[in-house]
Structure 1
């Protein structure tokens, strides 16, 4: 079953205005399938094929002579030296756009020396699994609850027709094994993949929490330096993202460490060991994964539709916190994620502290994102909304 992706129309526009388009995201989120579907005129070359990767690396001109642009190059991270040849080709055809479409399951622009090669020539689009809106718009959602979407996650393969859909645990077992063998070995010389898998599971257990890298390393039995390096691998392979704290000139009294989130709640719930939506929903980690889900939706909205929007969290040294701050045009919107259908005044304690700290006039509007059907106003400038999807913000 094909599920339409929100960004399809934008990608068509991008190839008209940039010589290179790069779609970067984790394995199995549907990058190649989407691009092959919406750009059927592009010849598809995958560098998963070792002989093609070797040719591109050792005989780049022969490769370009045989595979003349416009072309779609899959898993471009396997041929790092080929970037400069793409640059040379693009620079020799300054009036042409849409020459190369690249995909990568590792964020190659984070890797050393690669960002300089295509600076100003490439539009880089972060790409993740299905958004809640994409999933809800598909026929499969009519027979499945939101709770199962949170538990199963947004990898398209898990939402095939029922007779073709793999068992979640089997699929994630294979996914993690492939990730460890291919991405981790390729990015980092890890002595023990079993230790790295323990690190991966320990990171999942901290989803939605302020990052303490030394504690994370200590729990796995590795040094802080190694933990920092391994976390960078999770970031470069787009498995996690760090939500940075927000502070202005008053920042000395605020938290400085980021919060850790997985980019897919299904992977996080698998790593935590939950075998059913019901087990997850009734667990102590359910609130953290609900928060992860809400923030993931806004991450997609920023990366796909609203690049000027900033997303942060806020926390003071007394522990008062707002899960998500959305900033645009120097205006702030506060969002608190609460796994409850009946929010109470105490649930906006962090929002009230934020208003006291910066001044209520600095906050355009505040929201409680809850698993409810219909929105309602809790009090002046505080609205309780359905947090499964992003929503339109008042006066923004």
Structure 2
């Protein structure tokens, strides 16, 4: 991106490693955080002199704190004509993307960074010892490079990020009501989204629930998986499915305070599904690919948990949390293949075990 655009925008949730990555890749550029009140005031008061300090470009951290600066940035990079000149980071998509769309169209390459993937943790010899620990901790880098418990870290993350930044975006007056809303979203991870039901459980309207949910999406707390548009001669559900972007955060919001609890917790299957969806998202974003994941479900209950539309065809993926393979796990995939016909390519199944093999025409991954 830095070779083809004068500006690179690195977005993602707070504490996902954006600043660390930007500093690592662009060591020669000075770093300025617009969280700093002095820097922010300088940028607002005299943007021209603010930019003149950076003859070799700069990394501007948390740029959503000063969206007015983007208009000046447009003229500055146009005049200089240097690729990879400025690196922007931000953790709130609403403000940042609005500014990028309006002022930096055609000048910015956007990269999204989610927390650490299982492959990255494995490569760094930091992977949790078992599946329960993986679901409990998630992938936030801070949980792997310092001596802090997930309980303490997530409690502070919720307080300093969700309850401060996210509330500011939507001007929530009742903090308790918003906390309940976030927890109710966690309880629905892996489920079809019903805004009316979600709002009713929190004492808010479906319109307010939609507004609050859109902010959680923009803040990389949750994501919505859309239903696939092809019906293959069958009536389909039209509601999206709700997932948390980081499984450890969902587990904490469900009051899970140790990994052992997940052995018998009712939400273990939903959390494992959330984990796999999150890994697929990270895999595609890290490879610079579009997040073209969806699901398929008809009105009588036939379902494909994940459907990937690629050049070869439609690839179906089933997700099961148990560690022992069950013969009926492939039934849904086989039915899907009959519906999709020639458009379907060899399906896959991810489960909570450790072995990987091919079985009955399905790739099984542990």
| TM-score interval (norm. to shorter) | over 0.9
> Residue in 2 aligned with 1:322?
304
> Any stretches of 5+ residues in structure 1 without a counterpart?
1-13, 387-396
> Residue in 1 aligned with 2:182?
200
Aligned mates of 1:279, 1:33 — CA distance in 2: 33
* 2:142 aligned residue (157, 172, 175): 157
> Residue in 1 aligned with 2:352?
371
Aligned mates of 1:335, 1:47 — CA distance in 2: 42
Alignment check: 8 A CA contact 1:24 1:126 kept: yes
Cα deviation per residue 1:79-106 (whole Å; 9 max; x = unaligned)? 1111111111122233x10111011011
Alignment check: 8 A CA contact 2:303 2:332 kept: yes
> Residue in 1 aligned with 2:71?
84
Aligned mates of 2:184, 2:178 — CA distance in 1: 10
1:17 aligned onto 2:1? no
Distance 1:303 1:45, change over 3 A: same
Alignment check: 8 A CA contact 1:110 1:236 kept: no
After TM superposition, the score normalised by the length of structure 2 is: 0.95
Alignment check: 8 A CA contact 1:309 1:327 kept: no
> Residue in 2 aligned with 1:107?
93
Aligned mates of 2:253, 2:163 — CA distance in 1: 17
Cα deviation per residue 1:319-347 (whole Å; 9 max; x = unaligned)? 21111111111511110000122322322
* 2:269 aligned residue (275, 287, 292): 287
Alignment check: 8 A CA contact 1:129 1:155 kept: yes
1:334 aligned onto 2:321? no
Aligned mates of 2:247, 2:163 — CA distance in 1: 22
> Residue in 2 aligned with 1:385?
365
CA shift for structure 1 position 145: 2.4
CA root-mean-square deviation = 1.8
Alignment check: 8 A CA contact 2:67 2:96 kept: no
Cα deviation per residue 1:237-275 (whole Å; 9 max; x = unaligned)? 111111111122658711111111111111010000111
CA shift for structure 1 position 112: 4.1
* 1:186 aligned residue (152, 160, 168): 168
Give the 3-state SS of the residue equivalent to 1:365 in structure 2: coil
> Any stretches of 5+ residues in structure 2 without a counterpart?
none
> Residue in 2 aligned with 1:36?
23
Give the 3-state SS of the residue equivalent to 1:253 in structure 2: coil
Cα deviation per residue 1:290-348 (whole Å; 9 max; x = unaligned)? 11111111111211215157211111111211111111115111100001223223222
Distance 1:218 1:243, change over 3 A: same
> Residue in 2 aligned with 1:75?
62
Give the 3-state SS of the residue equivalent to 2:181 in structure 1: helix
Cα deviation per residue 1:97-154 (whole Å; 9 max; x = unaligned)? 011101101114775454221122111111111100011112333x732321221111
Aligned mates of 1:52, 1:89 — CA distance in 2: 18
After TM superposition, the score normalised by the length of structure 1 is: 0.88
Aligned mates of 1:155, 1:325 — CA distance in 2: 26
Cα deviation per residue 1:14-62 (whole Å; 9 max; x = unaligned)? 2122111111111111111121122211100001111211222232112
Aligned length: 366
